[in-house]
């Protein structure tokens, strides 16, 4: 899912667990549904088509069923 109002990538818990993403504390996120504190993580490498982005901050979201792509990824595309 692409979300131009999201600052960072947000990964569903089940995907983060399967990918072995580290838990790095937590961070507050303001959404249309309110403010949530979510576990923070770091993505070493993210491939979208032929593009590969490295060293991305992200959150782990137990309420999502699909990956949400935020502006920290979108800013690399025109």
Count of the separate structural domains present in the chain? 1
**Which pLDDT belongs to residue 6?**
86
In a domain, 1, yes or no: no
In a domain, 2, yes or no: no
Which CATH number does the domain housing residue 31 bear? 2.40.70.10
Q: pTM value?
A: 0.83
User: CA geometry: angle at 22 spanning 15 and 36, to 5°?
Assistant: 70
H/E stretch holding 71 reads: helix 71-74
- How long a stretch of residues is the chain? 78
Range of the domain at 13: 9-74
The b/e string for 61-78 (b: 16+ C-beta within 10 A; e otherwise) is beebeebbbbebbeeeee
Tens digit of each residue's pLDDT (9 = 90 or more) over 5-61: 888 899 999 999 999 999 999 988 777 778 889 999 999 999 989 999 999 999 999
């Amino acid at each position: 899912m692409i979300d131009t109002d999201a600052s960072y990538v947000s990964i569903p818990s089940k995907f983060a667990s399967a990918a072995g993403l580290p838990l790095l504390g937590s961070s507050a996120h303001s959404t249309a549904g309110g403010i949530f504190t979510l576990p923070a993580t770091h993505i070493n490498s993210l491939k979208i088509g032929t593009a590969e982005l490295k060293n991305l901050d992200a959150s782990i979201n137990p309420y999502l069923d699909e990956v949400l792509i935020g502006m920290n990824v979108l800013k690399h595309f025109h």
